[in-house]
């Protein structure tokens, strides 16, 4: 009879300990230590992975100059927003992890991409959460033709490997990694050890067979990928599908990408027939913006290589409490406090007894410094009860001394504002030598926030 050993494993990071602890000594997570029984046979799991290797795979060492471009080619998913986030297409042999809240559309996105890819390539879709009939019902709702897609419902990793060897697909989708179990690992599906071993086995299959593999991952209540942090280190790309289930728009972000930028963003709209791409996201974010509204400004921001026009809203109101409240949605809370301190010090706007609320409309999260000037103007607009001009756009980083500093890719931002019909754009003075003349939009350079506020509220 096999010997068994009891250890305690952290569900957050996978660290092990001989005794239970309330707080993990490695990652600091509380109440994540669980008892795990290890059997001697579980050591076979590591040896089992070697069986997933392609026997014909050569261990020959090559010079980088000897690797041809055909060896590292990309394939299009025929979904432009999806390709944009992936860095221009799907790389052969890559392992991509997609996470997101339940019901956000992860499976729908991958099923649509699989249906499009199956028209040109062999695609194997493995579902551990649905039967084949349920997958068929979902596919029938989509506008894409999925008749050539290979589907199967399976959770056993060995069976999945046998199916890959039999059908030799060019793309493999596993939905989800938390339902797949390794038969040689003596723990429940979804546990740290199971997720780790199954992901490692799928990674080995992807690399040795050259199969582009997508795996769906569940998220915790904090919004992080469930399972060990090692999971995100093992894969090539980590994508997060964000959005509110009460609204139709979804945002796909890359937080890790070995083959492209991590700042790209793809925008989709959920409809009855599935996800559709949003071709002009700037117009979408501004379509509900009112004119002559206090505390509302528009910023020209960059998400990777894509320029976006987004509305920033601020609300400043008196408070009767000793400690005023500060709240920020879509913007870092500390940045709100910093910019309010600059306004108080450099412009004399006393807001010690004012509640401050800041929101980026549309659910977008902005983290680049170029949004500072727009936030400053929005706060001042609400505090002074003066509306800014509806066709003004703002770009610029604000320093602690009140200066407006240069930003990158200024021409792309101006062109996006021009395309949406804006008449004026306020930019840092030091960016003026980087731009050409734009006849249909007035470019106004400013050196500090005093000049910016004067332009924003002139003739008011």
Q: How many CB atoms neighbour CB 49 within 10 A?
A: 18
Is 158 in contact with 126 (CB distance < 8 Å)?
Answer: no
pLDDT at 317: 94
Tell me: pLDDT of 47 over 60.
no
Q: Which residues pair with 225 in a beta bridge?
A: 219
Measured CA distances, 179 to 153, 157, 198, 227, 419 (Å): 11, 10, 10, 12, 47
Q: Are 264 and 256 in contact (CB under 8 A)?
A: no
- The residues that bridge with 296 in the sheet, in sequence order, are 313
Using CA atoms, how far apart are residues 198 and 219, in angstroms rounded to an integer? 17
Q: State mean pLDDT over 253-257.
A: 92
Beta pairing, strands 397-398 & 404-405: antiparallel
**So what's the pLDDT on residue 446?**
97
* pLDDT at residue 126 in the model: 96
Rounded mean pLDDT of 44-61?
54
Is residue 99 part of an annotated ligand binding site? no
Query: Is 102 assigned to a binding site?
Result: yes
Gyration radius from the chain CA atoms: 26
| pLDDT for the residue numbered 285 | 84
Rounded Cα distance between 448 and 181, Å, is: 59
The tokens for 458 are 């002139």
- Decide if 232 contacts 104 (C-beta within 8 A): no
- 82 sits in which H/E element: helix 80-86
Q: How confident is the model at residue 8 (pLDDT cuts 50, 70, 90)?
A: confident
Share of the chain above pLDDT 90, in %: 58
Statement: residue 166 has pLDDT above 90: yes
Separation CA 187–CA 411 (nearest Å): 55
User: If we measure between CA atoms, which residue out of 390, 398, 375 comes closest to residue 446?
Assistant: 398
Q: Give the pLDDT mean for 242-252.
A: 81
- The answer to whether residue 45 scores a pLDDT higher than 50 is no
Q: For residue 55, name the pLDDT band (cuts at 50, 70, 90).
A: very low
Q: What is the pLDDT of residue 249?
A: 86
Average pLDDT over residues 169-189: 90
Calculate the alpha carbon distances from 226 to 34, 154, 208, 217, 250 in Å. 15, 20, 26, 7, 21
106 is in an annotated binding site: yes
Q: Is 100 annotated as a binding residue?
A: yes
**Strand order through the sheet with 296-303:** 326-329, 354-360, 306-318, 296-303, 392-394, 424-428, 442-446
State pLDDT tens for residues 380-400: 999 999 999 999 999 999 999
Bigger pLDDT: 191 or 339? 339
For residue 130, name the pLDDT band (cuts at 50, 70, 90).
Answer: very high
Per-residue CA distances from 84 to 64, 80, 237, 243, 267 (Å): 26, 6, 13, 18, 10
222 burial class (0-12, 13-18, 19+ CB within 10 angstroms)? exposed
Query: Which of 209-223, 322-336, 390-404 is least confident?
Result: 209-223
Among 61-75, 104-118, 140-154, which is the least confidently predicted range? 61-75
Q: Is cis: bond before 444, omega within 30 of 0?
A: no
The whole-number pLDDT of residue 102 equals: 87
Q: Identify the pLDDT of residue 228.
A: 64
pLDDT of residue 4: 67
Arithmetic mean of pLDDT, 301-327: 91
- Separation between Cα atoms, residue 277 and residue 268, nearest integer Å: 5
Contacts of residue 432, Cβ cutoff 8 Å, sequence gap at least 6: 443, 445
419 is in an annotated binding site: no
Res. 6: pLDDT tops 90? no
The answer on pLDDT for 42 being more than 50 is: no
Q: Which of 226, 228, 224 is nearest to 193 (CA)?
A: 228
Q: Residue 101 annotated as binding?
A: yes
Which stretch of 26-35, 146-155, 346-355, 366-375 has the lowest confidence by average pLDDT? 26-35
Confirm whether residue 295 is marked as ligand binding. Answer: no
pLDDT value at 84 more than 50: yes
Q: For the full predicted model, state whether its pTM sits above 0.85.
A: no
Judge whether 243 is annotated as a binding position: no
Q: How many CB atoms lie within 10 A of CB 353?
A: 12
- Mean of the per-residue pLDDT values for the chain? 87
| pLDDT at residue 243 is higher than 60 | yes
**Looking at the predicted structure, is the pLDDT value of residue 124 above 90?**
yes
Q: What is the pLDDT of residue 306?
A: 87
Residue 56: its pLDDT value, please?
42
Beta strands in 236-335 (DSSP E): 237-243, 249-257, 265-271, 274-277, 296-303, 306-318, 326-329
What percent of the chain stands above pLDDT 70? 91
């Amino acid at each position: 009879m096999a010997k068994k050993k009891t250890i305690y494993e952290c569900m957050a990071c996978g660290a092990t300990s001989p005794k239970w602890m309330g707080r993990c000594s490695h990652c600091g997570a509380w109440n994540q230590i669980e008892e795990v029984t290890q059997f001697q046979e579980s050591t076979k799991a590591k040896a089992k992975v070697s069986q997933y290797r392609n026997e014909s795979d050569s261990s020959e060492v090559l010079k980088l100059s000897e690797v041809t471009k055909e060896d590292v080619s990309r394939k299009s998913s025929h979904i432009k927003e999806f390709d944009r986030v992936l860095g221009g297409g799907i790389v052969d042999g890559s392992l991509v992890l997609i996470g997101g809240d339940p019901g956000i559309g992860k499976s729908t996105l991958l099923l649509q991409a699989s249906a499009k890819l199956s028209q040109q390539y062999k695609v194997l879709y493995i579902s551990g959460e649905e039967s084949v009939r349920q997958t068929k019902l979902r596919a029938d709702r989509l506008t894409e033709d999925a008749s050539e897609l290979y589907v199967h419902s399976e959770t056993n990793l060995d069976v999945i490997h046998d199916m890959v060897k039999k059908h030799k697909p060019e793309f493999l989708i596993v939905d989800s990694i938390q339902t797949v179990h390794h038969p040689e690992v003596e723990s429940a599906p979804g546990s740290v050890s199971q997720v780790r071993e199954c992901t490692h086995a799928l990674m080995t299959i992807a690399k040795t067979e050259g199969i582009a593999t997508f795996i769906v991952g569940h998220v915790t209540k904090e919004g992080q990928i469930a399972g060990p942090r090692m999971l995100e280190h093992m894969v090539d790309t980590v994508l997060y599908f964000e959005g509110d289930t009460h609204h139709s728009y979804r945002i796909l972000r890359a937080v890790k990408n070995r083959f492209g930028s991590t700042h790209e963003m793809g925008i989709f709209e959920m409809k009855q027939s599935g996800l559709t791409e949003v071709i002009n996201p700037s117009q979408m974010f501004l379509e509900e913006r009112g004119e002559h509204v206090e505390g509302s400004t528009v910023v020209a921001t960059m998400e990777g290589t894509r320029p976006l026009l987004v509305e920033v809203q601020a609300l400043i109101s008196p408070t009767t409490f000793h400690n005023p409240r500060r709240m920020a949605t879509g913007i870092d809370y500390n940045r709100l406090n910093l910019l309010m301190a600059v306004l108080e010090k450099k412009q004399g706007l006393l807001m010690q007894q004012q509640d401050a609320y800041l929101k980026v409309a549309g659910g977008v999260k902005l983290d680049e410094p170029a949004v500072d000037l727009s936030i400053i103007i929005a706060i001042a607009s609400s505090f002074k009860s003066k509306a800014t001009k509806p066709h003004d756009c703002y770009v610029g980083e604000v320093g602690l001394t009140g200066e407006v500093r240069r930003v990158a890719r200024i021409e792309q931002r101006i062109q996006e504002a021009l395309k949406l019909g804006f008449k004026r754009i306020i930019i840092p003075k030091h960016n003026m030598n980087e731009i050409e003349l734009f006849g249909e939009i007035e470019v106004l350079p400013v050196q500090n926030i005093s000049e910016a506020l004067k332009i924003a509220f002139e003739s008011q």
